[in-house]
Structure 1
Amino acid sequence: MKIHLLALTLACFTLLGCSENDVQDSEAPQASGPVEIDEMPPMIEMDGHPEHGPHGGELVELGKEAFHIEVMHGTGAVAMYVLDGSATQPVAIEADKLTVSLKHDGKVKSFELPADPQAEDASGKSSRFASANTEMDQWLEAEAEGAVIVQIEGKSYTGKISHDHDHDH
């Protein structure tokens, strides 16, 4: 019985002229060589997010990768951007400031960065926090370590600011 069924199937393909090419969608694009990429993708670390934030700054992890803070300094001012878990997209939050505690040369000091909303942030929210405090900028440039504390969606997050150049968390 199996032999008859196989013979019947082969006969149908032979008589009808059905081929593998007829089964494929004739509208489907066909590959015509190697794919060219205009630019290299950002460096991705093993934990699944870029090595640096979208502005090129150091990343601070919040809540086991729930969010990130991108730290920008070295211009006489400091800016911190709240980013999503992938550290690629801004997250506008309702906080009116971020608090940063730093330790440098045996001294400990707290700094506040007021909200500085970006154009795309919803009204009453901010994904950027900035300060023109030159002392904070100098401390960060001198590789001061510490923590940033922020409220996101009613939950307090603390991220460690360090300058481990092998891994920026």
Structure 2
Amino acid sequence: MTNALTRLALVALTIGFAGCSQSTNDSTEATGGPVVMDELPPTLDDAGGHPVHGPHGGDLVELGKEDFHAELVHGGDGISMYVLDGSATKMVPIPSESLVISLKHNGQVATFDLAANPEPGSTSGQSARFTSTDTKLDEWLDAGAEGAVVIQIDGKSFTGKVVHSHDHAGHQH
């Protein structure tokens, strides 16, 4: 969150100073050039300042008071959950073999395991990505089931509310 806001503030200040650097003397040229960005900054929500969707296009789950996030990606390849940092932009590998999501739907409660599925090059025994191809989990998320995930990070337990958004613009489904 801080990096994105800092970056946006620096761009705004650079543009502001470039506009103010011109003097009333017409013979003086502005010394600044155009600001060039490699990519657009992420779309930020109004409340927390973090991206609206995670880096994989999924729904964000707040863990703690924005200490960490989880990203729930619900698509044709199954369900993936990524553990992310407080800015919701960088993956945080944890030493866990699985994550457990508990959901409630139509008066029923069920738990679903997402197995560690480390990205190539990850440290042995750690993963930031957890996946499942459980069709019941897929169906329940599609139907709007809600629940929670508990994730252990650096010896602390973080609980996040799991809700699948049906606003499908900008992410997989």
Give the TM-score of the pair, scaled to structure 2: 0.72
Pairwise mapping of residues 91-130 of structure 1 onto structure 2 (< 5 A)? 91-130=92-131
Q: Residues 117 and 38 of structure 1: is their aligned pair in 2 closer, same or farther, counting only changes over 3 Å?
A: closer
| Alignment-derived partner of residue 80 in structure 2 | 79
| Alignment-derived partner of residue 41 in structure 2 | 41
Structure 1 residue 142: Cα displacement: 1.2
Structure 1 unaligned regions, length at least 5: 1-28
Larger Rg: 1
Give the secondary-structure state (helix, strand or coil) at the position aligned to 1:49: coil
Check the 8 A contact 2:59/2:165 in 1, yes or no: no
Structure 1 residue 48: Cα displacement: 2.2
Structure 1 residue 163: Cα displacement: 4.3
Q: Distance in 1 between matches of 2:38 and 2:94?
A: 34
Counterpart check, 1:145 vs 2:146: yes
| Alignment-derived partner of residue 62 in structure 1 | 63
Check the 8 A contact 1:73/1:79 in 2, yes or no: yes
Check the 8 A contact 1:71/1:78 in 2, yes or no: yes
Q: Distance in 1 between matches of 2:104 and 2:80?
A: 18
* CA offset digits 1:3-56 (Å, max 9, x no partner): xxxxxxxxxxxxxxxxxxxxxxxxxx9314x43556532101231210000000
Structure 1 residue 162: Cα displacement: 2.2
Q: Distance in 2 between matches of 1:35 and 1:121?
A: 35
Give the secondary-structure state (helix, strand or coil) at the position aligned to 1:73: strand
Check the 8 A contact 1:76/1:138 in 2, yes or no: no
Give the secondary-structure state (helix, strand or coil) at the position aligned to 1:135: helix
Q: Distance in 2 between matches of 1:90 and 1:164?
A: 21
Give the TM-score of the pair, scaled to structure 1: 0.74
Give the secondary-structure state (helix, strand or coil) at the position aligned to 1:139: helix
* CA offset digits 1:124-146 (Å, max 9, x no partner): 10000001101101111111100
Check the 8 A contact 1:69/1:81 in 2, yes or no: yes
Check the 8 A contact 2:103/2:111 in 1, yes or no: yes
